[in-house]
Amino acid sequence: MATTTTAVYTVDGMSCGHCVNSVTQEVGGVTGVTEVQVDLDAKRVTVIGEGPVDDAAVRAAIDEAGYEVRD
């Protein structure tokens, strides 16, 4: 049985429901991701996955959606 993992990213540039949908769709397509929660007010994206989720792939998906992960 795989272990559930959670990672939280602070994302700049999100300001509306369309932003939430774009990030959710792109990150949700990353292998291993089972759930994406976007908190627009806090500018946070929580990624839940089965087993380890590729951090670089999540960052690339957020970038593909048009937003930037703040380190």
We report the CATH number of the domain holding residue 30 as 3.30.70.100
pTM score, whole prediction: 0.92
pLDDT at 2 over 90: no
Please tell me whether residue 35 adopts helix, strand or coil conformation.
strand
Banded pLDDT at 1 (limits 50, 70, 90)? low
The Cα 38–Cα 19 span in angstroms is 9
Q: What is the token pair recorded at 5?
A: 């993992």
What are the tens digits of pLDDT across the range 7-65? 999 999 999 999 999 999 999 999 999 999 999 999 999 999 998 899 999 999 999 99
The Cα 51–Cα 34 span in angstroms is 10
Range of the domain at 31: 4-70
Residue type, 51: G
CA nearest to 52, candidates 31, 27, 24, 26: 31
Structural domains counted in the chain: 1
